[in-house]
Amino acid sequence: MVLGVSGGIAAYKACELLRLLTESGHSVRVVPTDSALKFVGAPTWAALSGQPVTTDVWTDVEQVPHVRLGQESDLVVVAPATADLIARAATGRADDLLTATLLTARCPVLFAPAMHTEMWEHPATQDNVRTLRARGVVVLDPAVGRLTGADTGRGRLPEPADIFAAAQALLARGAQPLDLLGRHVVVSAGGTREPLDPVRFLGNRSSGKQGYALARTAIARGAEVTVVAANVALPDPAGAKVVRVGTAEELRTAVLDAARGADAVVMAAAVADFRPAVRADAKLKKTDSDPEPIALVRNPDILVELGRDRAHAGQVVVGFAAETNDVLANGRAKLAAKGCDLLVVNEVGERRAFDTPDNAATILDPEGGATEVPLGSKDALAHVVWDLVAARLSAT
C-alpha cells in the first residue's frame, strides 16, 4: 500500500501509523510531499518502511513510479492530509509523486485530514472534501482536541490506531463497492441517564459498543457518519462526528437535528422510557422514615417521531429492540408500533447485547421479511444492517 504524508505537524504521528501497518504485514511505500519532509525526514520513512522514499516524479523514471505506485496499490492512505493536499487532490493536480499516485490509484483511498479548525471549516476545504467523497475517497472527519499550539478544536489527526483500524476495515472490504458512499448516516449509541439529583440517575447497561460498530463499519463503506453518543466510555470512532448527550431529551434534540440531512438513522441507543418527574437541585438525603416513591413521567419516543416525520422521502429509519421473551412476536408488534423500516431484534442473554463484544439478532422489515444474523461480532451484525439499509436506499 501507499502511505501519503503531507506537510503538517501531525506528520510525526504517521510514523506510528507506518509501524502499525508494517508490523501487521503490509508492504508500505511512503510517499511524502516536499513539505512533509520539513517535519519528518526521508531517512525516517525509508528506515521504517524499508523502501525508497521520493517526493517527485523524476527519480527512477524508468520504473514510471508516478503511474505504477497507484496502479499496484491495494490501498492508499493519506495521513495527515492537509488543506493544501486536499485541494490539490480535489482539483486533480499531479504536480508531485503523491498527487500523481492519487490520480492513478483505482483502489480504495483513505484520507485522514489534520489542520487548524478554521482551515477545516473553510467553505473551500469543505467543498473539496465533498468533491473527494463524491468521487469515492473515504475522508475521515478530524478529531476534536489539542492542535499545534495551545489551541484546541476540530482538526486534530485521528489517533494512528484509529486510522489503522479504518485502513484495515477498508482492506477487508476488498473489491466490494463502497455502497454508502456519499450517504450521510446518523447512529445513536449508548444509554441515556435520567438524573434524580446531581449525583444519581436512572440508567441502563448499554455500553455503546453496537452503536460504535455501526459507525465504524459505515465509515468503512464510505458514509459520512454522525454518532449521537449517550454516556459512552469508548474512544470515538475515527472519522465520525460525535455529539455527546446525557438524557433522553438531549438525545432527541441531537438526533432530530442530525437526521434532517441524513439518508439513514439507526437508533441503537437504549433510551429511557421514563424520567423522574422532579430533578432535585441538591443531593437527596436519607431519612429515618421510608422514602417516598419516585414519580416518573414519560420521555418522548424518538424512534416513533423519526418514523412518522421523515426528514425526506426515502430516508431509512432503523430501530433496535432488546427482548427477553416472545422475541419475534414482540419484535413484529414493535416494528409496527414504531413505524420504522427495519427493526434489529436482540434476545438479551448471556454473551449477547449488553456490554459484550458479540451479538446475534433477527432483522425484521415491514414486508414480512426476517434476516437471521447468527452469533458473531458486533461489526458483523453492523455490516448486515448496512447491507439492508444500502439495499433500501438504492431501491428509492
254 binds ligand CTP (CB under 6 A): no
321 binds ligand CTP (CB under 6 A): yes
303 binds ligand CTP (CB under 6 A): yes
Kindly tell me which residue out of 53, 219, 220, 248 binds ligand CTP, with binding defined by CB under 6 A: 248
Piece in contact with ligand CTP (CB under 6 A), picked from 39-47, 97-105, 127-135, 314-322: 314-322
Residue 339 CB, shortest distance to ligand CTP, in Å, is: 11
Contacts of 142 (CB under 8 A, 6+ apart): 112, 113, 114, 115, 120, 154, 155, 156, 157, 158
Query: Count of alpha carbons within 13 Å of 246, Cβ hemisphere only?
Result: 8
Piece in contact with ligand CTP (CB under 6 A), picked from 95-103, 195-203, 231-239, 267-275: 267-275
320 binds ligand CTP (CB under 6 A): yes
335 binds ligand CTP (CB under 6 A): no
Residue 231 CB, shortest distance to ligand CTP, in Å, is: 14
Supply angle C-alpha 92, 95, 99, rounded to 5. 55
Instruction: Give residues 40-59 in contact with ligand CTP (rule: CB under 6 A).
Output: none
Spatial contact of 5 and 79, defined as CB atoms under 8 Å apart = yes
222 binds ligand CTP (CB under 6 A): no
Torsion angle of the four alpha carbons 381, 182, 309, 395, in this order, in degrees rounded to the nearest 10? -70
301 binds ligand CTP (CB under 6 A): yes
Residue 212 CB, shortest distance to ligand CTP, in Å, is: 15
Residue 77 CB, shortest distance to ligand CTP, in Å, is: 34
Beta strand 370-377 with 358-364 is antiparallel
Piece in contact with ligand CTP (CB under 6 A), picked from 164-172, 195-203, 318-326, 366-374: 318-326
Closer CB to ligand CTP, residue 106 or residue 205? 205
Contacts of 236 (CB under 8 A, 6+ apart): 143, 162, 227, 242
Closer CB to ligand CTP, residue 219 or residue 321? 321
Residue pointed to by grid coordinates 454516556: 231
Host H or E run for residue 6: none
Residue 197 CB, shortest distance to ligand CTP, in Å, is: 22
Closer CB to ligand CTP, residue 273 or residue 309? 273
Phi, psi of 4 (to 5 degrees): -85, 135
For helices 97-104 and 65-72, the axis angle rounded to 10 degrees is: 50
Cell numbers that stand for 267 in this block: 437508533
Identify the CA nearest to 138 among candidates 186, 89, 72: 89
Kindly tell me which residue out of 319, 363, 373, 392 binds ligand CTP, with binding defined by CB under 6 A: 319
258 binds ligand CTP (CB under 6 A): no
Buried/exposed code over 349-360 (b: 16+ C-beta within 10 A; e: otherwise): eeeebbeeeebb
Piece in contact with ligand CTP (CB under 6 A), picked from 63-71, 173-181, 206-214, 319-327: 319-327
Closer CB to ligand CTP, residue 80 or residue 191? 191
Residue 106 CB, shortest distance to ligand CTP, in Å, is: 39
Spatial contact of 178 and 171, defined as CB atoms under 8 Å apart = no
Kindly tell me which residue out of 269, 317, 353, 393 binds ligand CTP, with binding defined by CB under 6 A: 269
Contacts of 218 (CB under 8 A, 6+ apart): 180, 185, 187, 225, 382, 386
267 binds ligand CTP (CB under 6 A): yes
341 binds ligand CTP (CB under 6 A): no
Residue 316 CB, shortest distance to ligand CTP, in Å, is: 13
Radius of gyration of the chain from its Cα atoms, rounded to whole angstroms: 23
Q: Give the Cα separation of 216 and 275 in Å (integer).
A: 31
**Is 204 annotated in the active site?**
yes
Residues of this chain that bind ligand CTP (CB under 6 A): 248, 267, 269, 271, 273, 299, 301-303, 319-322
The set of catalytic residues is 204
